[in-house]
Structure 1
Amino acid sequence: MSTQNGPRKAEAIFAATLELLAEHGYDRLAIEAVAARSGVNKTTLYRWWPSKDALLAAALRDSGLFALDVPDTGSLRGDLLAVAAHILRLLTSERTSPAVIATLAAGPHRPELGEVARSFFADRMAREQPIFERAAARGELRDGVDPVVLMDLLAGAIWFRILLRGGEADPKFLEEAVDTVLGGAA
């Protein structure tokens, strides 16, 4: 996030938000605690983000911790393997996994988190769109394939494997997931 679109200490604010979320869970995440940990006055936080949900959405969307460098490997398969590896890192890294799990754990009990998730995934899909535009231009996708469905299937397979099955997602699993998704889209 540039300083023109947020406060100067945005990254420190986002880091504090995500750390506190991971440490205390969504219900105990408080603007006052974020202000104290980030060294920013709480009025500054409220000026930029009117609620805890708005702040959490911004932290998930704009924090460098969750940044996605959109791959361009020259093939849809290669790009999807790179994105799959990125998703796997987010779900398993010591730095990101606690925030992801805390958000998911709170979700069923906090309907307002639905908007946070929608915001995050809409932004992520917008960033991934060039992958599918390039693939379509190369003739790697048939007409009418919905990139959102492809990403839901791919990401869903990884999330399900890691978070619900408690399994591992090694490079072989990622290749199988990408190839299975592409088998229905090529």
Structure 2
Amino acid sequence: MDSESHRPRQVGRGAKVRDAVHAATLAELVEKGYAALTVEGVALRAGVHKTTLYRRWADRESLVADALADLSAMDVPIPDTGSIESDLRELARSLVRMMTAPKGRALLAAMFSGAADVPGVAEARRQVFDDRFRRAEPVVARAVERGELPEGTDPSELLKALAAPVYFRLLVTGDPVDEITAERAALLALAAARAGALRRR
């Protein structure tokens, strides 16, 4: 095996490099965990020289924070089916798809590892969830206007109730997370909201 085989493949410049580095960072985070993640490992996986990374990211903390911050910019379609029940089903399915995909698994790996204490990572995590809560507000507002939910239903509390069964399976029991999980999560959140348990306080 010659020396050429040890050299990173070139991926271009600018946005292409950034995308490749973000993807490599998330993959390393899922595969190795935060404790074993290194700038060198990310560079090798991304196909760039580590000096290229160090020119833009000072350390692994900034690498992980930047990659996770990029998740908050992901376009997440917000359903408008005309029914809160089907809207919640769509939101739950979207959450399941996201959290079982590589980027979602990387987010979980960062949240429940040493990375969670890194200020930049904590801020990126907060932005991801704040963005999801903000996007859910119109869904709840429309449902209240249609008379499907009580006045004062809190969008963030409704989304938390929707997400809770999914995260419980992912992080506590390890049970499968699938379409059935999404369906049950939607029905549970809807029942709680209709009962008035998720009003603003």
For the aligned pair, the TM-score class normalised by the smaller chain equals 0.7 to 0.9
DSSP 3-state at the match of 1:185: helix
- Larger of the two Rg values belongs to structure: 2
1:138 matched to 2:149? The reply is: no
Give the distance between the partners of 1:104 and 1:54, measured in 2 at CA. 11
Is the 8 Å Cα contact of residues 136 and 156 (structure 2) preserved in structure 1? no
Other-structure match for 1:184: 192
Over 3 Å counting, the alpha-carbon distance change for 1:36 and 1:171 in structure 2 is closer
Amino acid of the structure 2 residue aligned with 1:139: G
1:15 matched to 2:23? The reply is: yes
1:36 deviation in Å? Answer: 4.7
Aligned residues: 174
Q: Of the candidates 116, 123, 127, which is equivalent to residue 115 of structure 1? A: 123
Other-structure match for 1:153: 161
Amino acid of the structure 1 residue aligned with 2:71: L
Over 3 Å counting, the alpha-carbon distance change for 1:31 and 1:72 in structure 2 is farther
1:166 matched to 2:177? The reply is: no
Amino acid of the structure 2 residue aligned with 1:165: T
Give the distance between the partners of 2:25 and 2:97, measured in 1 at CA. 20
Tell me the TM-score normalised to structure 2 length. 0.70
Other-structure match for 2:11: none
1:89 deviation in Å? Answer: 2.1
Tell me the TM-score normalised to structure 1 length. 0.75
Structure 2, unaligned runs of 5 or more: 1-13, 195-201
1:71 matched to 2:79? The reply is: yes
1:57 matched to 2:57? The reply is: no
1:152 deviation in Å? Answer: 0.9
Over 3 Å counting, the alpha-carbon distance change for 1:102 and 1:74 in structure 2 is same
- Taking every aligned residue pair, what percent have the same amino acid on both sides? 35
Is the 8 Å Cα contact of residues 25 and 64 (structure 2) preserved in structure 1? no
Q: How does 1:81-120 map to 2 (within 5 A)?
A: 81-93=89-101, 95-96=102-103, 98-106=105-113, 110-112=116-118, 113-120=121-128
Is the 8 Å Cα contact of residues 53 and 116 (structure 1) preserved in structure 2? no
Give the distance between the partners of 2:122 and 2:140, measured in 1 at CA. 26
Over 3 Å counting, the alpha-carbon distance change for 1:43 and 1:114 in structure 2 is closer
RMSD over aligned CA atoms reads 2.9
1:72 deviation in Å? Answer: 2.0
Other-structure match for 1:29: 37
Is the 8 Å Cα contact of residues 35 and 45 (structure 1) preserved in structure 2? no
Over 3 Å counting, the alpha-carbon distance change for 1:120 and 1:29 in structure 2 is farther
1:68-114, CA deviations, whole angstroms, 9 ceiling, x for partnerless residues?
22222221111111111122223334x3454244224305x742243
Structure 1, unaligned runs of 5 or more: 1-6
1:118 deviation in Å? Answer: 1.2
Give the distance between the partners of 2:44 and 2:178, measured in 1 at CA. 39
Give the distance between the partners of 1:91 and 1:53, measured in 2 at CA. 17
